[in-house]
Structure 1
């Protein structure tokens, strides 16, 4: 019965449910899009197998595994955590000989994989979204790569994949960690390994071009029994991969890494999910409150509270299910759009595609229905419980819930936010995510005590708007009398500003701190030299440039990743290899020790990382280099200027030997005329050393990803704000009609509602600024000890103005639509 009544009610009162329908459709779309993206990245495979023609592969470690054991008395618990490496250690000759000597192994192909940079006619050559990886020509048969033009490479020659767009006869500059070579393109191959652009050099030149002492993997053809024998022959010195696992032997940098993408898309789902649930709950609650008179009438004719609850929940479920009809297709389309944008930003691997999963879509619909019906139950519980004799007294229905429970709930939520802001290291890698959690807790606390906060702020704002004249005085009185209505429109506006401002401003603060530290780091040098046709230059070339007599001091840095085990869990950190000569050209803000002591078996560590692990100068932590080589260097210094640089500093020579790329990304020079030193050097360019953008490409990509999430959230909350104002204004048709009949002109009613909108917008901005200020200010202190409300004043004021303008327009437009109708029909409605 309840279901039939609900369907009939929705069918005959479509306009009343329009706001809930729109919000639910958007919520389902956002939940579906976020869920599909996260599902796609969690279930994404490694991509096409480059070893398709092999029966098995043999390779060294591709991750660092740390095992911890805890004795719990009755049992011993063992845990193993892994962290993916960014490089591959060459296989020793003993392993190669052992595999080749196994009976039943028909053939063994050595694969030497190493990243390179290509340039032709002074311009970089690369395939969009693909890693450029070189191999010996014998490896081409493994995929297989088919020669479609030209011939196999000889000495001084190279064969390129067709996606690179270079024709035979072209001379290209190939840069690897061993140097730069000019090679003539003699052939083009057509491959089928997404995310990789193949480059093939003669087998005789692999060692010289790659710097590898052996193959990074072996591809074998053998019978199944022989594959098992190979595993016994290598005896733990390498790992044998078969079946779908063969691709694990590929170079780590050439295989998509979805770990970072899980964090990005998981956070995207968290933000959109919170915004969707928050706004949907508010919209449904407001819609139910607008029906208080109708509910009162039902109570007077004998409807029980349980019956009212069933009818309202059934109506909400019907609306939510109907909203899923347009919401799901919109969610699928949005998922594809977002995936494409995230791929372009480099936030997710280029191979990521959206997998449309039916259970995920069903879960999105179920979540939408659950939130809608739950919000309906919460909003209706007081109206359904009042005695029938009081049912028509709207003041009784609209009464406030107990103050004490609200205050208790808010206090708990605020305590949680304070704990997050004070106990969690916001300066670490999870700082941005934790700032969102703190913001969400404070927003929920604001909602819990919304009537109390809004009531107090309305008393102030209404008196301020009263100075505009009689209309302002009346608007203030109506705002104070309709506290619940004001709360309904303030909440989504507060959410819109606080949530998005926290994300955007936190990113701005982090970018500002990084830029400030970059300027301080390079203040001693005169120019920064970087490659124009690739990701960097070989170390020996940078050293030759630094030895020019006009250079009085130089510092070369090589970016890498280093794995550190912390609390039994390995984590990789951005790090740098450093080579310096002459006068100091780079100032890392050393607080303990001396960077001059940096040698082959030493390391310098950032202050936050040292503090987190309890390290001090003289300690010897265990680290793993990019190719998995374990080392125990002695800490010789700790430094403070690590943002946009790295948490560990190792000797450049050691990094270049163990990182597959191993190229100098930045060279800082001091001298009277150092710009002239690089003016005529091809492939190099000198810029101001203190350029705050230097070395911050990853941060800029991260900031762009944050801004994309802000755009998503802003779009949804903006629509929700407009929808909320429309629902609130439409519910006042009777009141506005009475004003018109009593002699008020349309202009006067418009002015009255505009002033009410100003009151609501002002309150929302005060609350939003307070929440964002508390979170962003604490986040800023965690970065460098300075309190900031914002990093860019114009950006902050622009956001305040945009949200305020949207709120005023959202309040004005529905008012003009309603007031523009005839008054008598309004009374009848």
Structure 2
């Protein structure tokens, strides 16, 4: 049977090119998406600042909550199941000051070094913010902690009061030398310091992913605002039993965390390490899109390819082949074909992953230090998935195709047995019901809204695919009268039309839904930002941020009648025993005139209260007056009374806290912008207060950078999906056209001209495109309409007419070209009949 399958492949290379291309691209996409997800899940910090230590003791770096569920057994006994969920802090908790002495007294400890790490904004000679390698943040320390890496001086001397030592990478970014001056800004204020020396870790110029700056140890507390060290490095005495030392240090550390080996890097300041939480969801979505499109397209292509061989299968039946033998033959053919396609497909997946990662890095959606790791098991799994999908598709298509009557081998055309309507209808109903459930019961206005809109689109597309011949037949009956002979042929060959139209439905529905929904989110975010800032005269910003005290001083400048300063932060809230991280803002409001409009829906602002977005309040069941426990970036737990519920949270945050509380417990703690209302002539007084102050009229303020980056990430994912589905559409049309060589040859023999066949093919392509667009528009309208209604209560089926028209026009043009060109290349004025 294997010999027969390979021989069949050799004799029908042209017929199998389409399936080969589909399998090749499917494996490439699956391999690329798999490598991206694998790489981000296994990504490790690029450097360990505590490399020279034996172990490290640190303050809290994550919040862990334990839940206990009691399950009763039949015998009357019960079993308690415990789950621990953790959420990483965005700041660093400190350890008690006296803990250093306690650990130093532990037997086997040769030396302990306290490290106080804190983010710092650094401005060079021209006031431009300085960053480390790969745009990494700059982290401040005391000089005593340089030994933890270890850092050593390359030039200059150790820092004195009012001086700093910077790493070589940071010095190189601005051409800094010993004796130069830097402007440092932290949450405690801004100050000018002199560079006393340049240092580097042994064997390198700096640490990847962070820039280091060392102050005199007596300056650390005043600059950082921290009450104690964030970590303690422990050096073991020679010959010490490390396991015993670890146990003793754990006992002495109390509630503090103890890290050893590769885990020591977790003791570093979270802001100093690349954050891969966002990229995990991004690449998870990429693999979801590519996997669905690959399976959908590959299955459809294989099914179409099998349908083109009905007459051959009937001929094999006439010479005694059984249905079981034919199914085995088709299955083996598919396995061989997909395995051959996987050989070049897997390496292409590596290139695809690297290209996508590079683009996401440019957009700022993933850390600059992220690298794609080539993993052989992932590539093998992608190849196996491609082979398996091809095999299942071939076997599924063969179930009906091999039941063809042997007598059909004697006819000019062969038609597969009909049937399976009940199964198809049942599958379509289940998929459609799932889509309705998602669109109805899942909150699409929440953080999972975009992902759930894709899931609902995928389910509706599965329903369309299951009922493809039936739906296409119904639509064709309505529109076919516009296409003359082509319409008549389409009504008879509705299964063939369905096989070609369904990829068009996929191409339009999936990509239009993602593009329109992401565009809607971007527009709503921009609109809410404009509405929020509308009361202000201007927005005040400084590169890197402002200390809260400076913002308060600006709010008291004569002529200022109202100010609203915001400090971006992250807050952890408990939900069902699981800690959840949310974007938040510290808010300082002064003056009699409001400079910020959050669209308050309940309660009123309170200087020491908490405000929550409508979405979050509804999700948690909060009401004004409730006491809400939460954790701040440094792990500090506090309880605030909910005083206000607001609506305009897009691009802002779901929680609003007192600015002073955020500045005290967020290691960065800087004001990102100040909305101000002031009288004419106040601009110059404001600029005189702060060097480098940028004043932008509110009407000219742009959308937040994060929102723009997110939109760019969505557009890249649409581009990935669009490219694959476009190739799939071309591939499907080419298969369908190739299978009609005999039909076109017969038409030429009875007198049809090449021009007539060209017009017929173009009309059939136009009809197929129209059917595909109508079904795709139906799917898109359902999902986009539900998503839009969930966002702001407004039903929008199109969102942006320009984008919608461009998408529909592009799909239509591609479909027409893909449908007409293969026929034009195949139908020549001479020789077509001779080629058969």
**How far apart, in 1, do the equivalents of 2:498 and 2:828 lie?**
26
Note the 1:625-664 alignment, pairs <5 A: 625-664=632-671
Note the 1:98-137 alignment, pairs <5 A: 98-120=102-124, 121-127=126-132, 128-137=134-143
Question: Residues 791 and 529 from structure 1, CA distance in 2 versus in 1: closer, same or farther, beyond 3 angstroms?
Answer: farther
Question: Residues 308 and 75 from structure 1, CA distance in 2 versus in 1: closer, same or farther, beyond 3 angstroms?
Answer: same
Note the 1:470-481 alignment, pairs <5 A: 473-481=484-492
One of 515, 532, 535 as aligned partner of 2:526: 515
Note the 1:54-133 alignment, pairs <5 A: 54-73=53-72, 74-120=78-124, 121-127=126-132, 128-133=134-139
TM-superposed deviation, 1:396: 6.8
Instruction: Determine the structure 2 residue equivalent to 1:619.
Output: 626
**1:234 aligns to 2:253 (yes or no):** yes
- Superposed CA RMSD in Å reads 1.8
Equivalent residue of 1:219, what SS?
strand
**How far apart, in 2, do the equivalents of 1:71 and 1:211 lie?**
45
TM-superposed deviation, 1:172: 2.2
**1:724 aligns to 2:732 (yes or no):** yes
8 Å contact kept, 1:67–1:78: yes
**1:51 aligns to 2:50 (yes or no):** yes
Note the 1:790-805 alignment, pairs <5 A: 790-805=798-813
Number of aligned residue pairs = 813
**How far apart, in 2, do the equivalents of 1:357 and 1:554 lie?**
53
Gaps of 5+ in 1: 466-472
One of 554, 565, 587 as aligned partner of 1:578: 587
**1:327 aligns to 2:337 (yes or no):** no
Instruction: Determine the structure 1 residue equivalent to 2:765.
Output: 757
Equivalent residue of 2:796, what SS?
coil
Deviates more, 1:139-148 or 1:22-31: 139-148
**Cα displacement string for residues 271-292 of structure 1 (whole angstroms, at most 9, x for unaligned residues):** 1011111111111111111111
**Cα displacement string for residues 746-789 of structure 1 (whole angstroms, at most 9, x for unaligned residues):** 22221211111111111111111111111111111111111223
Instruction: Determine the structure 2 residue equivalent to 1:548.
Output: 557
**Cα displacement string for residues 13-66 of structure 1 (whole angstroms, at most 9, x for unaligned residues):** 211111111110000000111111111122222332110111111111111111
Instruction: Determine the structure 2 residue equivalent to 1:766.
Output: 774
**How far apart, in 1, do the equivalents of 2:783 and 2:687 lie?**
47
Instruction: Determine the structure 1 residue equivalent to 2:785.
Output: 777
Instruction: Determine the structure 2 residue equivalent to 1:470.
Output: none
Question: Residues 677 and 481 from structure 1, CA distance in 2 versus in 1: closer, same or farther, beyond 3 angstroms?
Answer: farther
Question: Residues 189 and 743 from structure 1, CA distance in 2 versus in 1: closer, same or farther, beyond 3 angstroms?
Answer: farther
Note the 1:393-472 alignment, pairs <5 A: 397-465=415-483
TM-superposed deviation, 1:308: 0.4
Equivalent residue of 2:667, what SS?
coil
Instruction: Determine the structure 1 residue equivalent to 2:395.
Output: 377
TM-superposed deviation, 1:146: 3.4
Instruction: Determine the structure 1 residue equivalent to 2:75.
Output: none
One of 152, 158, 163 as aligned partner of 1:152: 158
TM-superposed deviation, 1:171: 2.3
Note the 1:224-373 alignment, pairs <5 A: 224=242, 225-236=244-255, 238-373=256-391
Instruction: Determine the structure 2 residue equivalent to 1:194.
Output: 208
Instruction: Determine the structure 1 residue equivalent to 2:234.
Output: 220
TM-score by length of 1: 0.95
Gaps of 5+ in 2: 73-77
TM-superposed deviation, 1:400: 3.5
TM-superposed deviation, 1:578: 0.3
8 Å contact kept, 1:741–1:823: no
Instruction: Determine the structure 1 residue equivalent to 2:221.
Output: 207
One of 816, 819, 827 as aligned partner of 1:808: 816
TM-superposed deviation, 1:204: 1.9
Question: Residues 152 and 145 from structure 1, CA distance in 2 versus in 1: closer, same or farther, beyond 3 angstroms?
Answer: same
**How far apart, in 2, do the equivalents of 1:262 and 1:511 lie?**
22
**How far apart, in 1, do the equivalents of 2:506 and 2:657 lie?**
45
**How far apart, in 1, do the equivalents of 2:39 and 2:379 lie?**
13
**How far apart, in 2, do the equivalents of 1:72 and 1:768 lie?**
47
**How far apart, in 1, do the equivalents of 2:430 and 2:411 lie?**
34
**How far apart, in 2, do the equivalents of 1:820 and 1:117 lie?**
70
TM-superposed deviation, 1:391: 5.7
**How far apart, in 1, do the equivalents of 2:302 and 2:472 lie?**
19
8 Å contact kept, 1:617–1:638: yes
**Cα displacement string for residues 263-315 of structure 1 (whole angstroms, at most 9, x for unaligned residues):** 11111111101111111111111111111111111111111000100111111
**1:789 aligns to 2:793 (yes or no):** no
Instruction: Determine the structure 2 residue equivalent to 1:488.
Output: 499
One of 585, 604, 608 as aligned partner of 1:594: 604
Question: Residues 677 and 516 from structure 1, CA distance in 2 versus in 1: closer, same or farther, beyond 3 angstroms?
Answer: farther
**1:538 aligns to 2:547 (yes or no):** yes
